[in-house]
Amino acid sequence: MLRATFKSLLSRKARLFMSGLAVILGVAFISGTLILNASLGDSIRDMFATAYKNVDVQVTPDADESKDKVATIPADLVDEIKSQPHVDKATAEVADAAGGVQVLDKNEKVLPPTGPPTIGTNWTGVNDPMEMADGSGPEASDEVAINKGLSDATGYEVGDTMKLVLPNSGDTKPQSFEVSGVFEYSGNRGSLGGESTVSFTTETAQKMLLGKEDVFSSVNVKSDGSVSQTELKKQLSSELGGDYQIKTGDKLAEESAGQLSIILDFFNYLLLGFGTIALLVSVFLIINTFSIIVAQRTRELALFRAIGAGRGQVTRSVMLEAFIIGALAAVVGMAVGVGLGWAGTEAMSGLFGDLQTTLSIPMEAWIAAAAIGIGITMFAALLPALRAGRIPPIAALQDPSNTQRPVRWFAIIGGLLLVGGGALLTAALTKQFGKIDSDDTRIAVFSAITVLFLGAIIFTPVLARPLVSLIGFLFSWSLPGKLGRRNSGRNPRRTAITATALMIGITLVTGVGVMFSSANASIQKYMAKQVNMDLMISPATQGQNPPTFDKSVLDEAADIDGVTKVVDGYADSQATLDGEPIYVQATSNIKDFTRLLGVTKDKGEMDSLGPDEMLMSTGQAKDTKTKVGDTVEVTFANLKEPKEFTVSGIVNTGDFMAAPWIVDASNAKYFHEDKPMQAFIEVGDKDDVKPVMKDVNELLKDYPLVTVMDTSAFTEQLNQMFDIMLTVVQVLLGLAMLIAVIGVINTLTLSIRERTRELGLLRATGLTRGQVTRMVTVESIVISLFGALLGLGVGAGLGIAAQRGLRTFIDVLAMPWGTMAFYVVAAIVVGFFAALIPAYRANRINVLEAISYE
């Protein structure tokens, strides 16, 4: 039996390749993702190790203990640190990487806020690994040195004048500085990891970045080599007391890398999730492949039984074949995964500028490749192998093509899951688990969706024959079309498994598409029916220091012809409530603020707001169990003690425009930024909106980090976010779609071999090669359309169920008809191209040999 297994594999190399291709792709995707994550993680750790190579200990202020807007270290502490034993050097630094420096390019446009940060520092001289590429460090208050990465990105060179916006300086208008020097890092790198760095003189940095004199952000300490980093840390902690945070350089590098790794881990989990979906699709392909192989080898396996092979031997023979295919697929898939990991690392390193990357292959990648390649293949082949072991010796005298297995169990199990999932969904949507927006109801809804999805997959063979026959009617106007239609429905299990692989991907894309389309429609409805403003002034960039503008802009905007109302908006994202960060808005005109932003009352009052009163959103009131009349304590950046507010009203904020917490503008002086950050403008005649927007833009010409937009532009901005997410989902599901297409090709190719004698007879009775091609093409298109239509139906149904479960947030149901139509057309195209190889093989059959084929 062992020799027979190897001979079977070697005599069918094409089948071996097609069987392993899906597994190769799955292994490559998963192992490539793990290699990408490990490579980028190691590179980032090396980057921060380089950045802190000259720091043994860093001393920073304890932000939790400081009551200042920006926590700082007094200058006299630097001298105290320098005087400590074992300290060779103490370098005082001023730094801000949280939006305190915004660079304008030569066209006076703010640099895109995405990607690595812009860092503002004081110039402390050149030290390893930094090197001066051109010019010198800043010496005057109006000079800066920049890193080569920023110079390359903007074109600024030594002697040029660059404009910067420095929110912490108290002036939000652009300020001009001359570039005195451009520095780089060892290896001619323009940056360590894509960051942009602007260095001022120490006095200028203190004023512009910290808003104070004679203070610093941190002190970097270098030991004289006589003690370890840990020992030096203990010594300084003992001398300086508990008002400062003291960390070793190794700890700083580790923490900095860890913060960036959180983003990479999320990306990694996302890729692994979609890779798992691709593997699920692969399982269906492998099951189908081995089922067809076992059916084709029925006589061969029965002969083995007849000459003395036991059931176990036959089963083990098929499982050995699966093991060999899986092992080869694991090796090839791992090799492809290394290539994908390298390519992904090179591509992703571009996001971090000059990040030096090395390829790292973790042990997890090898384990995953072996587990997926061998484990998944053998798991998927188990049922066909057991079925092979049950083949009786008498089957050697039967025609295997006439063997049909009932789909009764698929109908029973799938039907029970569909009924159970439907009952659970009905109970959830009829509030049997509580309010529609309760956590229990949402859990029930999404549990029901999962059960319905599994039920639909299992029930598919029951639907295969009637639906395939119905779809096939579209192509039954010719003899090849009729034959193709009958062939596609002759084995419902096989057709269903092939179509299910395609259905899974389309179901997920369609379901997500329904959700995003509904979210888009809900936003448009909200903006059209509830929001009454016509224009909004808001920051063009976000972060801990979002840009502001002078209040005089609002006074001038109110005088523009056509403007009927201008409402101010202050915002603070650094306030805390019960230790948790919150986003607070403030306004001096709460009545018009709520009217223009579509805020509606739920309980209490909202037409007036005293200095010690607060409006709270219904969601936050529910989460914190707060009622009208309750008091809450909010901690602000510019207030030493928490301030107590009385909740005067609970409101529906709409989730898009207004913050969950709203207070009077008299509290803005406590905010991190006490100038207006937003404004909402109402125009009397809608025809005047464009002219008014032009005039407002003119008022904001000195504030390049602030923008004005109308409601349609704001809506489009929100909708683009959903469009991008849908595109990402479609791209990441592309691998599952590709494997599904391979499944169609594989099934048809093996079916052609199975129907060799039948094809010979058809050719002998007059069917031409062109008609054979059309027959196979119709069969492929019908199967693809069956999978696509089933996926669209199931996906639309599950998407609708999800929308109904979230209707307190997404209250409009909208179908992505364009996307759905695209997938129908794509299914036809996929079916056509998937038929090319099987049709070519069918046309190569020798008629006389085929007639005598057994």
The residues spanned by each domain of the chain are 54-259, 548-702
Q: How is residue 478 annotated by DSSP?
A: S
Closest CA relative to residue 487, chosen from 518, 460, 454, 465: 465
What digits encode the pLDDT tens for the residues 74-94? 988 888 898 889 888 889 999
Tell me the whole-structure pTM to 2 decimals: 0.75
Q: At what angle do helices 249-296 and 311-349 cross, to 10 degrees?
A: 140
Of all residues in the chain, what percent carry a pLDDT higher than 70?
91
Mean pLDDT of the chain: 84
List CB contacts of 5: < 8 A, sequence separation 6 or more: 317, 320, 321, 324
pLDDT at 526: 81
The residue to which tokens 């990607």 are assigned? 115
Q: Is the pLDDT of residue 527 over 90?
A: no
What digits encode the pLDDT tens for the residues 597-609? 888 898 999 889 9
When pLDDT is averaged across residues 206-219 and rounded to a whole number, the result is 89
When pLDDT is averaged across residues 777-786 and rounded to a whole number, the result is 88
Q: Which helix (H) or strand (E) holds 203?
A: helix 202-205
* CA atoms of 302 and 53, how far apart (whole Å): 71
What digits encode the pLDDT tens for the residues 166-202? 887 777 788 999 999 999 887 777 887 778 899 999 9
When pLDDT is averaged across residues 21-35 and rounded to a whole number, the result is 85
pLDDT at 435: 66
Of all residues in the chain, what percent carry a pLDDT higher than 90?
22
Which is more confident, 735 or 253?
253
What digits encode the pLDDT tens for the residues 606-625? 889 999 999 999 888 888 88
**pLDDT band with cut points at 50, 70 and 90 for residue 692:** very high
When pLDDT is averaged across residues 227-232 and rounded to a whole number, the result is 91
pLDDT at 287: 77
Q: Which helix (H) or strand (E) holds 663?
A: strand 661-664
pLDDT at 429: 80
Q: Is the pLDDT of residue 402 over 60?
A: no
Which is more confident, 364 or 433?
364
**pLDDT band with cut points at 50, 70 and 90 for residue 682:** very high
180-to-105, 145, 442, 557, 738 alpha-carbon distances in Å: 17, 6, 59, 39, 55
pLDDT at 193: 76
What digits encode the pLDDT tens for the residues 479-509? 888 887 887 777 777 788 888 878 888 888 8
**pLDDT band with cut points at 50, 70 and 90 for residue 128:** low
Q: Is the pLDDT of residue 114 over 70?
A: no
When pLDDT is averaged across residues 556-569 and rounded to a whole number, the result is 92
Phi first, then psi, for residue 628 (nearest 5°) are: -60, 130
Q: Is the pLDDT of residue 244 over 80?
A: yes
Q: Is the pLDDT of residue 798 over 60?
A: yes
pLDDT at 143: 95
403-to-218, 271, 398, 491 alpha-carbon distances in Å: 79, 41, 9, 10
What digits encode the pLDDT tens for the residues 722-780? 888 888 787 777 777 777 788 788 777 777 776 777 778 877 887 788 888 888 888 88
* CA atoms of 550 and 560, how far apart (whole Å): 17
Q: Is the pLDDT of residue 267 over 80?
A: no
Q: How is residue 189 annotated by DSSP?
A: B
Highest mean pLDDT among 15-19, 308-312, 449-453, 762-766: 449-453
